[in-house]
Structure 1
């Protein structure tokens, strides 16, 4: 299982014996950098996470880090690796008393060291969403915001 920490990000590495499916590499394009995409899901359907696996696998193929901020469920490393996600590039961030999901997401997007930041922030105001888009442009990163319908 993937573990969380509240301090510095932790690099997640797959076990050496795990089989990784062959996935076509993602073509790097500056056209997709600096944008935020929203995915709206039913609140009670975390079982839809497997539907996101191909997207997550594609996003993990860049040379930069792939950051996940506050995912709602802890998925086994074997499941992620079998889906083609390069776990050596994934950093999990968990909010704490000093850092909200929004703050961590904005900082990760703005840093420029992350290809993509996927976040589950709950409710975001229009101003916060605009700030995430500005941070994504500044860091040439792609943000993916996953929210439930009642938070959209």
Structure 2
């Protein structure tokens, strides 16, 4: 009986096709610290998944989603990689970004003529560019095939793709999905989906 048990344990450990439930401590994919210790404590690997897509679901814009990402922006720009905003719903306020320590000389804002037709295409090109470290985008909707292409592009370059949405996504391949809500003094984040661990964890951040 012991021999069979050992053989089964060995199979479970070696075969990547076998899902072993929640084992976030075994997470080995690259991550970048979020800059928020409480958030890193609940994210698989302890940070934002690099070379992957993250979807941030917020009921309304401007509740603090960009403050959440300021440490990441500082890190990306400080490493000499480009920070790209694709079709933002508002013009980024440069003085506030400078005051927050973001090197705006590494920042690029890209407009698209037709959001439905061009946004996914622009994101894919930017994610594949070797100088890109982070792409922020505000798609209304993306077909499943576009999600898959964006994930492949991010994985090949190691860049991070952050997509902001207002609700349920269709066919999303995001490695991480977060829901943002307002709480007193900051944000409440709930993990809807996390590659390498179950969703459901909640954390409050005072931003």
TM-score under structure 2 normalisation? 0.52
Q: Determine which of 43, 58, 66 is the counterpart of 1:41.
A: 58
CA contact 2:119–2:139 (8 Å) conserved in 1: yes
Q: For 1:28-63, what per-residue CA distance to the aligned partner results, in whole angstroms no more than 9, with x for missing partners?
A: xx8244211111111x33243434333333332222
2:98 maps to what in 1? Answer: 81
Higher relative contact order (CA 8 A, sep 6+): 1
1:3 maps to what in 2? Answer: none
- Deviating 4+ runs (over 6 angstroms): none
Q: How is 1:39-78 mapped onto 2 (pairs within 5 angstroms)? A: 39-42=56-59, 44-48=60-64, 49-78=66-95
Q: For 1:58-90, what per-residue CA distance to the aligned partner results, in whole angstroms no more than 9, with x for missing partners?
A: 332222211111111113211111111110100
- Name the SS of the counterpart of 2:78 in structure 1: coil
Query: What CA distance in whole angstroms lies between the structure 2 residues aligned with 1:84 and 1:126?
Result: 36
- Name the SS of the counterpart of 1:129 in structure 2: helix
Q: Determine which of 112, 133, 141 is the counterpart of 1:115.
A: 133
Query: What CA distance in whole angstroms lies between the structure 2 residues aligned with 1:97 and 1:125?
Result: 15
Unpaired stretches in structure 1, ≥5 consecutive residues: 1-29
CA contact 2:52–2:154 (8 Å) conserved in 1: yes
Question: Shift of the alpha carbon at 1:111?
Answer: 1.9
Query: What CA distance in whole angstroms lies between the structure 2 residues aligned with 1:65 and 1:51?
Result: 18
Distance 1:31 1:50, change over 3 A: closer
Question: Shift of the alpha carbon at 1:151?
Answer: 5.3
Q: How is 1:26-37 mapped onto 2 (pairs within 5 angstroms)? A: 31-32=30-31, 33-37=50-54
Unpaired stretches in structure 2, ≥5 consecutive residues: 1-28, 32-49, 171-207
Larger fraction in strand: 2
User: What RMSD, in angstroms, separates the aligned Cα atoms of the two structures?
Assistant: 2.3
